[in-house]
């Protein structure tokens, strides 16, 4: 079994940034970490890549999401490692090392919010700020046995956050319990606590079919235990379309945001990340237009499936975390399946929470709960209401 370093490799190398809370509030006594894609005043936002970091200046001000947690009483205790410029779901970083998953040290932590998830799972912080474009909060939450919240697109400010694919980008949150996650997420949303409303739960059965067989059985059992009353299909027989639409649209937005850097001689990436960035520069305008039109139609369909008071359950990831140093065909298979599942919320701008609901071979598996756009508060209160009443099997 892998011997974990003292900090599990979760933190950005160097002096650990710490900022005390600026006011008392609902998060007094709690601590949080910040993914190295999010500005903290006086530090360089390094993006998980030394060549990118070398081009940046120290942030003059902290991102609003950092300020909101500080003003709510939480203390910042460090910045955390991210996959390079957020372009991964595995959690590896060829330059700074791969954070060690505290729950399964021989397996990947998940990315790209790998360091934030590991810091929270290891008990170094109560909360982890991350970003979620195609699953970068939800995947490490599933692999590390955490709760991971992705908000509705546009609900939480993105100022001071490095852009990746802006029509998908969100700032999300990681915590060990729903009781900690919910009030912190409400602080980020700027919302008061709301009453718990009865919710109808549907299970996306075709999403379960994408999961590994053993994981699918456990996740279906968990959905039934939660009270799922109906099984529905969301992919209309074509899950590959969701993956391709996400890949093309995301790629075009990455090229628009970072094309100059990607084309420059100074852009050096790890061996698993470099081909992904090279691929985004090859996407044509015709393909982008086609899939943007497809997205508009499918997003409307997904939103109609989720009126107020209805929640959708689906696997967060295909299964438990893969073993570290995933390569070749197995890596491609994992990435394709995980991104297909993660793309659903992103394509339609939906809020989602990954909950730890089961274990397989001693490693956690997450089940995601999705709500209609703007129904973040309902989703958070539903998940918080399960505390103490839902016992993972």
Same domain membership, residue 329 and residue 209: yes
Which range of residues forms the domain containing residue 137?
A: 31-189
Same domain membership, residue 53 and residue 183: yes
Same domain membership, residue 95 and residue 228: no
Residue 292 within a domain: yes
Residue 221 within a domain: yes
- For 76-85, the pLDDT digits (tens) are 999 999 999 9
C-alpha pair distances (Å), 158 with each of 139, 142, 153, 206: 20, 24, 10, 33
- For 258-290, the pLDDT digits (tens) are 999 999 877 889 999 999 999 999 999 999 999
Task: From 178, 50, 59, 37, select the one nearest 111 (Cα to Cα).
Answer: 37
Q: What is the mean pLDDT of residues 352-372?
A: 97
Cα gap 313→167, rounded to integer Å: 23
Same domain membership, residue 319 and residue 293: yes
What is the predicted pLDDT for the residue at 275? 93
What is the predicted pLDDT for the residue at 4? 72
Q: What is the mean pLDDT of residues 307-336?
A: 93
CATH code of residue 319: 3.90.1300.10
Q: Give the pLDDT band (50/70/90) at residue 313.
A: very high
Judged against a pLDDT cut of 70, whether residue 392 lies above it is answered with no
Same domain membership, residue 208 and residue 134: no
Phi, psi (deg, nearest 5) at residue 270: -65, 165
Q: What is the mean pLDDT of residues 229-254?
A: 96
Cβ proximity of 157 and 377 under 8 Å: no
What is the predicted pLDDT for the residue at 2? 62
Q: Give the pLDDT band (50/70/90) at residue 193.
A: confident
Cα gap 255→232, rounded to integer Å: 36
What is the predicted pLDDT for the residue at 388? 64
Q: Give the pLDDT band (50/70/90) at residue 391.
A: low
Cα gap 153→176, rounded to integer Å: 23
Q: Where in the sequence numbering do the catalytic residues fall?
A: 35, 112, 136
What is the predicted pLDDT for the residue at 329? 85
CB under 8 A, 24+ apart: contacts of 257-260: 257/163, 257/164, 257/165, 257/166, 258/85
pTM, entire model: 0.96
Total tally of structural domains belonging to the chain: 2
């Amino acid at each position: 079994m892998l011997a974990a370093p003292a900090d599990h490799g979760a933190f950005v190398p160097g002096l650990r940034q710490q900022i005390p809370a600026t006011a008392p509030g609902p998060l007094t006594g709690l601590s949080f970490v910040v993914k190295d894609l999010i500005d903290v005043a006086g530090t360089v936002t390094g993006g998980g890549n030394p060549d990118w970091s070398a081009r940046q200046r120290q942030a003059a001000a902290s991102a609003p999401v950092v300020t909101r947690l500080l003003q709510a009483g939480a203390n910042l205790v460090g910045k955390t490692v991210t996959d390079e410029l957020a372009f991964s779901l595995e959690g590896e970083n060829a330059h700074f090392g791969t954070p060690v998953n505290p729950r399964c040290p021989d397996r990947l932590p998940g990315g790209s919010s790998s360091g934030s998830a590991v810091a929270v799972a290891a008990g170094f912080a109560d909360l982890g700020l991350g970003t979620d474009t195609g699953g970068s909060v939800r995947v490490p939450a599933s692999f590390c046995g955490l709760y991971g919240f992705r908000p509705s697109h546009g609900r939480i400010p993105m100022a001071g956050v490095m852009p990746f694919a802006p029509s998908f980008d969100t700032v999300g949150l990681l915590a060990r319990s729903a009781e900690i996650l919910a009030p912190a997420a409400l602080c980020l949303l700027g919302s008061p606590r709301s009453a718990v409303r009865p919710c109808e739960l549907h299970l996306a059965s075709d999403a379960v079919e994408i999961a590994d067989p053993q994981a699918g059985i456990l996740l279906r059992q968990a959905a039934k235990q939660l009270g799922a009353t109906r099984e529905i299909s969301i992919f209309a027989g074509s899950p590959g379309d969701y993956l391709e639409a996400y890949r093309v649209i995301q790629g075009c937005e990455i090229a628009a945001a970072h094309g100059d850097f990607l084309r420059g001689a100074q852009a050096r990436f790890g061996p698993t990340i470099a081909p992904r960035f090279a691929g985004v520069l090859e996407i044509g305008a015709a393909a982008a237009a086609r899939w943007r039109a497809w997205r508009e139609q499918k997003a409307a369909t997904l939103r109609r499936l989720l009126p107020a008071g209805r929640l959708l359950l689906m696997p967060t990831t295909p299964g438990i975390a893969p073993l570290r140093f995933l390569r070749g065909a197995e890596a491609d298979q994992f990435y394709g399946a995980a991104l297909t599942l993660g793309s659903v919320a992103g394509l339609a701008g939906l809020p989602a929470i990954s909950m730890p609901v089961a274990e397989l071979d001693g490693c956690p598996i997450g089940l995601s709960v999705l709500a209609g756009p703007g129904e973040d508060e309902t989703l958070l209160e539903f998940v918080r209401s399960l505390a103490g009443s839902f016992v993972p099997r």
